Each structure stands twice: as C-alpha cells, then as structure tokens.
C-alpha cells in the first residue's frame, strides 16, 4: 500500500492518522518531491478507474495558467492531461492510496481511506 501525499494537506494528514490507527503497512510518497512519471500516473489512473481530468485540481494556479478548464476531456486529449499532471504535480488530487489488491482510491474522506484498508490482500 502506497499513499501519495502533500504534507501540507489536511486531508493527507487525516488519511495518515487513520492508516496509523488501523495499523496499516504503507509507504509514503511525497509526490511533489518524488514526481510520478506519466507512466506511473497512467498506472494509478487504471487502478482508480478514472481519467486524468477526474484527479486534476482545477482550482490550482497552474491549472488556470494552462487553461485546463477549456481542454477537451476525451481519449485524444488523455495524454495531454497526463503530461500536464506529470509536469505540474500540484495539480494531482490527493491523497491517492494504492491498495494491495491492485486498485486505488482518492482518500479525501474517512470512508475512502477505510475502503482502501478493506482492500488489503
């Protein structure tokens, strides 16, 4: 189990607290420092069952600078979104928890974190 976090994010800290309280075995990836590659982002999207625009923080300054709200949200545009997330990791929604069963969740609520915990092998 891996959790992608921004230590400044309260939702990330809450997720870590819950994982610790449940005795979960996990590794922390500070994704703003250890930036995921486009292939890693694709793999996480596959595990989440989501598209890149589904995990994009569109209110961030970088999103506004790139004009993301006007980008197409279709198969032809998917790689463009993924490249933007890799180039501007702050745009990635957090925390993302990869579960041991090959799935992943965006752990922004206690329920989502508990869902990831249920997926432990």
Q: Are 15 and 3 in contact (CB under 8 A)?
A: yes
67: left (phi over 0), alpha (psi -120 to 50) or beta: left
Q: Let me know if 9 is a catalytic residue.
A: yes
CA dist., res. 35 & res. 104, Å (int) = 18
Catalytic residue among 2, 3, 9, 51: 9
Active site residues: 9
């Amino acid at each position: 189990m891996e959790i992608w976090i921004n230590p400044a994010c309260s939702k990330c800290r809450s997720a870590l607290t819950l994982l610790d309280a449940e005795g979960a075995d996990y590794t922390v990836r500070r994704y703003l420092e250890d930036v995921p590659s486009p292939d890693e982002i694709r793999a996480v999207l596959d595990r989440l069952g989501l598209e890149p625009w589904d995990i994009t923080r569109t209110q961030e300054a970088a999103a506004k600078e790139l004009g993301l709200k006007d980008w197409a949200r279709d198969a032809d545009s998917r790689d463009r979104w993924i490249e933007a997330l890799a180039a501007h990791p702050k745009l990635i929604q957090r925390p993302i928890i990869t579960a041991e069963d090959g799935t992943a969740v965006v752990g922004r609520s206690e329920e989502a974190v508990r869902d990831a915990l249920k997926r432990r092998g």
